[in-house]
Structure 1
């Protein structure tokens, strides 16, 4: 389970056996949601936040923080997906220490 980011107690990660569309999971306090990235001609055209089957979804401030991380780091997340799942490169996790606006 490659961890990408940690932000205010929220963990953003891939499961090791993921599938398309490109997506990441956000987990905090036993709750989990995912963000799916839809691309056209290599550009992100939509990011859709969805629930994870069998998990309670992120709510309130945790959900807002997940959306912020996904919006700010969208391009980096897609690149990390390609690096990990296409090129089989390891991913170095990052702790985000500055407040995202």
Structure 2
């Protein structure tokens, strides 16, 4: 499970054998969410992240969208 980055206690990663479309998993403690990166930044599911952390995760996913896509492609190509 390659970690892309960790900010504010939110760890952004994907699974080694993950599937398209490009997305990230975000974990903080025991809580997690899945965020689609392509075609648009969009929440797929949230399992317990607090509203503040979820908003922050979505904003960070948008801010680092190009880095996430580049890391995904390097790993999966």
Taking structure 1 as the reference length, what is the TM-score of the superposition? 0.70
The one of 69, 72, 77 equivalent to 1:81 is: 72
The answer on 1:65 being equivalent to 2:56 is yes
**Partner residue, 1:27:** 27
Q: Alignment RMSD, CA only?
A: 1.3
The answer on 1:49 being equivalent to 2:43 is yes
Distance in structure 2 (CA, Å) of the matches to 1:8 and 1:70: 13
Q: Which runs of 5+ in 2 are unaligned?
A: none
Distance in structure 2 (CA, Å) of the matches to 1:6 and 1:37: 17
Taking structure 2 as the reference length, what is the TM-score of the superposition? 0.89
Report the number of matched residues: 77
Note if contact 1:51-1:57 (Cα within 8 Å) is conserved in structure 2. Answer: no
Cα distance per residue 1:28-81 (max 9 Å; x no partner): 121111111224xxxxxx2111116xxx24221210121121010001101110
